[in-house]
Chains A and B, each alone.
Chain A
Amino acid sequence: MYDKVCKNCGTYLSDFYETGLVGCEKCYEVFKDEIENAVKEIQFGDMHTGKVPPFSSEEKSLLIRYERLFKEKENAVMEGRFSDVRAISEELIALKEKLEEKGLI
């Protein structure tokens, strides 16, 4: 049987099924569907509503927000959430302008 593997840390999907543990943040992309199924069983929802880590500077915070939104947009496209794609795109454009003004991208 085909066993998915995270090339970043070498964790196999069968390892995740056996131990319930992942090896690194890339595992969350590689085993996304399987983790989603596990999360449904054990958690109240699949969207974090709590604390966001603070960052040392506004610039860094904006850059990370930009990267995250980019990733979020990719996910939304893949999942066919088109209204989300539109909303994220609008935010991305505004953020990009801000970053360009600051000469960060």
Chain B
Amino acid sequence: MESVSPDLFSGNIIKTRIRLARNISGYRFCGNDEKTSREIVKKVNRALIKCDTFNLYYVANVSTTVLEAMKERNLISKYLTENAVGGAALINADESLSVMINEEDVIREQCFMKGLRLKEAYERLDGLDDELAKNVDIAFHPRWGYLTTCPTNLGTGMRASVMLFLPALSESGKIRKVAEEARKAGLTVRGVYGEGSVAEGSIYQISNEVTLGISEYDILKSVEEAVLDICMTERELAKKLYASKEIKTMDRAKRAFGVLTNAVLLSYEEFLSLIAEVKIGAMFGMVDIQDLEALNDLTVKVRPANLCVQYGKDLSAFDRDLFRAEVVSKKLLKLREI
């Protein structure tokens, strides 16, 4: 494949996430009792103390809304909040690193970066992982590699994911074919929001399915190649669907902008579908917004729990829709001025 710069697809590529699953030799992989779980948290916290300035959160001591907001920002998982005994998370200040403790595996390290930065994110996490292994006896098998609770994570224990905005593939239904092709290459494509084959807001995540029999760098390479390939297909299709129908696309984008900046009540589902229209318009220069990253950030900021955290207290569904409309309108009008 001809080398393609990810910068070409800055409107489509949202963020990169690397996750490493690890367990500690001599401890159960999951389902430890409260006392042992606490002991593990202290062990991991001590091991990583030199790596970064982490805040330690015990799931039991954090409010449901704040936990939900962390989940919405992908910092912690549903499993950690619902199933784990003594679940905890170490999260650094800029939220680029998160270490879940007593999850499905005893340790799940994560690194997040904006855009397509798989190698950079892996290398950052690799450094953290080395520090951990220097201080904690990691469960490792010479043949099977890093031992995990679920054999689907064996070997590297790594999940490399990239979040993508794919409106043309989504709208045309061609995303199904893309997902099938990805599966043949040991990768998976799924919608981030909503259920079923059409993702709300056209936001998808591509990640490796296979973790054993392939090195970390080969996984990163295959995910990166697939991402660029998918983005190229999306771009070609978007030219046909949107760029060649300039008036219609502009009308859709400006109408969406109009609703988003004038609505009094705005549900998250409505926001997702309208912001996708605005983003398409912005990508083709039909709406006066340059900062596409800010639109991605807004998509997270106005999710239900994050909205409550921003407001400073729990809100009813009605009040959330009211506050969301205000936040979105202010932000979009400001972005248009820049």
Where the two chains meet, the residues of A that have a C-beta atom closer than 8 Å to any C-beta of B are 9, 20-25, 28, 35, 38-39, 42-56, 68-69, 71-72, 75
Contact = CB atoms under 8 A, between A and B. Distances in A.
Given A21-B149, A39-B154, A51-B156, 17 more contacts: A20-B150, A24-B27, A25-B147, A28-B144, A42-B210, A43-B151, A43-B211, A45-B214, A46-B144, A47-B212, A48-B141, A48-B143, A51-B126, A51-B216, A52-B140, A53-B140, A54-B134
Contacts of A53: 129-130, 133, 138, 140, 146
Given A24-B28, A43-B210, A44-B213, A50 B145 contact: yes
B151 A42 contact: yes
Contacts of A55: 133-134
B6 interface: no
8 contacts: A39-B154, A43-B211, A45-B213, A48-B141, A48-B143, A51-B216, A54-B130, A72-B143
Interface residues of B, number: 41
B213 A21 contact: no
A54 B152 contact: no
A56 B156 CA distance: 20
Contacts of A47: 143, 212-213
Contact of A23 (B29, B142, B143): B29
B135 interface: yes
B30 interface: yes
**Which DSSP category, helix, strand, loop or mixed, fits chain B's interface?**
loop
A42 B214 contact: no
B155 interface: yes
B134 A56 contact: yes
Contacts of B104: 21
Given A23-B30, A55-B134, A48 B25 contact: no
B123 to A, nearest CB: 12
